[in-house]
Amino acid sequence: MGQVADKLKREFWTREFILFVVVGVINTLDCSLFAAILMKYGIEDANIAFNIGYVISNILAYLLNCWLIFPTRPQLYQYFKFALSYVGNAIIENVSVLVLYNWLGFAPVVSFVLAALISVPVTFLMVKIYAFSKK
């Protein structure tokens, strides 16, 4: 068990991961804000509002990852890899919103924030290994 804990600590207790979490907080807030604004001004379905907010915040997240975490010049091909690495994140978050909002009756913004917290470690690994790998 000590080896697993050490490996997790080396992977997740890094400057990259901490900055990824900071960007994730920004991303979660802007996704939730965009979704809430969309719900207030015409989109009544929380799931649709969430997905539109998700796409907008994903673009911002890519730019912040390029500038702050994995220093690189933004490129369209790399953005597609970044976006693809978020497929797992999107699935985890959508299922979470479905369960939390639709089935358990949580408030939309609470559902959005909890969904994001559940998916962070998986998304970090996908972004690091696939989208921003130096190989």
Instruction: Note the pTM of the prediction, 2 decimals.
Output: 0.71
More confident position, 1 or 129: 129
Task: State the chain's maximal CA–CA distance in angstroms.
Answer: 52
Query: In the prediction, which pLDDT does 99 show?
Result: 94
Indicate the helix (H) or strand (E) that contains 109.
helix 108-126
Other C-beta atoms lying within 10 Å of the C-beta of residue 24: 22
For 79, left (φ over 0), alpha (ψ -120 to 50), or beta? alpha
Q: How confident is residue 119, by pLDDT bands cut at 50, 70 and 90?
A: confident
Residues 82 and 131: beta-carbon distance below 8 Å:
yes
- pLDDT 10s digits, 59-109: 999 999 999 999 999 999 999 999 998 888 888 888 999 999 999 999 998
**Residues 29-46 pLDDT 10s:** 999 999 999 999 988 898
Q: Check pLDDT > 70 for residue 1.
A: no
Spatial CA neighbour of 90 closest among 38, 34, 31: 31
Contact 74/56 with Cβ under 8 angstroms?
no
Residues 101 and 46 sit within 8 Å (Cβ to Cβ): yes
